Amino acid sequence: MTARHILVVGGQRSGKSRFAEDLVLRSGRRPVYIATGGAGDAEMGERIARHRTRRGPDWSTVEEPLDLGGAIDRAAGEGTAVLVDCLTLWLSNLIEAKREIDRETDGLLAALGRTSAAVVLVSNEVGSGIIPDNALARRYADALGTLNQRVAASVGRVVLVAAGQPVILKPSPVSEIAL
């Protein structure tokens, strides 16, 4: 488990990216943004533009849709704080490219273990609604749930953002939870 890494999860438009950006900026380290999504349509292009404008010129940006572990290896260094936004789109890219998700996740977790940088990873929580009615959507929701669990197990902190409000999930006072 790597204490300097944080997973930030939440629903769509929950405020998780803004919260993660603030974490990186407050670290006092040089901010690096690893973008996993591309502008596949006009609406996504507008989202990306809003995020870039909000971050400002102090951020270095790396665009990497597939080789997330390699991107962390290349971008992260002593004195940097890396924001990966987001695992949700990365997983979509892996599925579309017919990549082996477990192997790619192993590579991501290995990179997190190697780096001296602080890394904040953003991911959506999609498993709180109804079970999707088609096989691809079910496969995706299952795969994202598993990915989030694996990343959460490997980082020191997990934060859920809902309605712009952070709730710390890890570390949790498990010893205080009992029947």
Residue-wise DSSP of 19-35: HHHHHHHHTTSEEEEEE
The pairing of strands 60-63 and 80-85 is unpaired
The answer to whether residues 52 and 24 touch, using CB atoms and an 8 Å cutoff, is: no
Residue 51 annotated as catalytic: yes
Question: For residues 86 and 108, what is the distance between their CA atoms, to the nearest angstrom?
Answer: 13
Whole-number Å distance between alpha carbons of 8 and 152? 9
Among 5, 51, 55, 157, the one annotated catalytic? 51
Q: What amino acid positions are annotated as catalytic residues? A: 51
